[in-house]
Amino acid sequence: MKISNVEAYWLRCPIPKEKQHASDYGLLTDFDMTLVVVTLENGLQGFGEAKAAVGSSGVCASIVSCVENELKPALIGKDASQINKLWEHVYNGTRDHYALKRGRKFPILGRRGLTISALSGIDTALWDLKGKMLEVPVVALLGGACRDQMPAYASGGWADVDRIGEQLQGYVAKGFTGVKMRVGVMDETVEKSVARVKAAREALGNDIKLMADAHGTYSVPEARQFCRGVEDCNLYWFEEPLSPDNKQGTAEVRAATSIPIAAGESEYTSFDVRDLIAVRAIDVVQPDAAIIGGISEAVRVSHLASVYQLELAPHCWGSAFSFMAGVNVAFASQAATIIEFSLGGNPMMYELVQEKIEAKEGMIAAPQRPGLGLTLNWDFVKEYAQKIS
Ligand SMILES: [Mg+2]
């Protein structure tokens, strides 16, 4: 079935004041996303997300332009079912015939960054389309689910030292058995982060999984100091201690602590994840399907996780489309045992689509509906689509 149109929309929706939070990314007052829509000649549409930022706020005009002006012309008239070939076509550009003939990549300059984000949205939309065409969920196309359900962990935890225990206990009261809190430069000092984590663990007791995320904001000494301070807090993982550009430093942090180190949400392609693994920087791999190169590349990362006996925990902070992309990849992988579930103000997760996304008693069920299993709310798109001049 041939592709007849490829569109992208930058959606920006205000977050109600009572649901706003401040993190290492500052106070987030809007939620942004790039929605990618691939349409077939018969009118069937697939949807994906392409990210300009790992947080929920970002300017998406460049991705929209990349999708519509650079990638769309190369995709019109192509067979949408040949996802592997189309991925190579975008990644290798005019040299894709060499890539396919010689069996190795001949990438264009945009082999990282927003071009790969744009490719991510298109790739995810193609998987959504293929599932809809065959009337099976994406996970079935990936070989089927390894388990019937999976625990979700509540992703939030911005409160100060006096209220963090109560905030995280609120998540546990909803049925979650794992919770993630934010640390890093938002706390000003490492001591304050350590005190917040200690307060959290004391309030939660020892049976709840607790993770801490520094959003890549520490220096190597700060990260080591943090790890020393919370070494007895039984953290399930410590996420993005350093900038993704400091892979060797992340390995130094990992070597200095018994706390498992997680990273990967800011990486583009499995080549970046390979480099993290090669320097022994991580225990938990967190590809984001809207950044890494779509469902196709997230699957390749899941295979790396499996081969190197690392845990796979896709980054699922985003719209319903990147969330379900991560969920489908996670269920298809033996290496994934837990799913991120956003507890922040997130209209793209709950209002962009007609289905109600929920973790019942803290559990996510294996996907059953065709494609990504989502129905786009076009009225929402019309209301929040930004004009790009
Ligand atoms: Mg994170």
Tens of pLDDT, residue by residue over 85-106, are 999 999 999 999 999 999 999 9
Give me the phi and psi of 265, to 5 degrees please. -70, -20
Q: Does the domain formed by 141-365 have CATH 3.20.20.120?
A: yes
Q: The tokens of 381 are what?
A: 């798109």
- The Å distance, Cα 54 to ligand 1 centre, comes to 8
Q: Given this model, what pLDDT does residue 54 score?
A: 79
Using one digit for the tens of pLDDT, what is the confidence trace for 299-334? 999 999 999 999 999 999 999 999 999 999 999 999
Q: How far is residue 363's CA from residue 358's CA, in Å, rounded to a whole number?
A: 9
Q: Tell me what the mean pLDDT of segment 13-29 comes to.
A: 84
Instruction: Give 380's pLDDT tier (boundaries 50, 70, 90).
Output: very high
State yes or no: pLDDT of 178 exceeds 90: yes
Amino acid code (one letter) for 385: A
Predicted TM-score (pTM) above 0.95:
yes
Q: How far is residue 226's CA from residue 277's CA, in Å, rounded to a whole number?
A: 22
Q: The tokens of 48 are what?
A: 């994906």
State yes or no: pLDDT of 7 exceeds 80: yes
Give me the phi and psi of 7, to 5 degrees please. -125, 160
| Domain range list for the chain | 3-135+377-384, 141-365
- The Å distance, Cα 239 to ligand 1 centre, comes to 6
- The Å distance, Cα 311 to ligand 1 centre, comes to 15
State yes or no: pLDDT of 274 exceeds 90: yes
- The Å distance, Cα 62 to ligand 1 centre, comes to 23
Instruction: Give 38's pLDDT tier (boundaries 50, 70, 90).
Output: very high
Mean of the per-residue pLDDT values of the chain: 96
Instruction: Give 2's pLDDT tier (boundaries 50, 70, 90).
Output: very high
Instruction: Give 346's pLDDT tier (boundaries 50, 70, 90).
Output: confident
- The Å distance, Cα 144 to ligand 1 centre, comes to 27
State yes or no: pLDDT of 389 exceeds 80: no
State yes or no: pLDDT of 29 exceeds 90: no
Instruction: Give 15's pLDDT tier (boundaries 50, 70, 90).
Output: confident
Q: Given this model, what pLDDT does residue 273 score?
A: 98
- The Å distance, Cα 95 to ligand 1 centre, comes to 35
Top pLDDT among 17 and 137 is at: 137
Q: Tell me what the mean pLDDT of segment 223-227 comes to.
A: 98
Q: Given this model, what pLDDT does residue 12 score?
A: 96
Give percent above pLDDT 90 in the chain: 93
Q: Tell me what the mean pLDDT of segment 51-62 comes to.
A: 88
Cβ count within 10 A of residue 165? 18
State yes or no: pLDDT of 55 exceeds 90: no
Is the separation of the CB atoms in 314 and 286 below 8 Å?
yes
- The Å distance, Cα 263 to ligand 1 centre, comes to 8
Among the CATH numbers 3.20.20.70, 3.30.390.10, 3.30.70.640, 1.10.1200.10, which is that of 3-135+377-384? 3.30.390.10
Q: Are strands 178-182 and 209-213 parallel, antiparallel or unpaired?
A: parallel
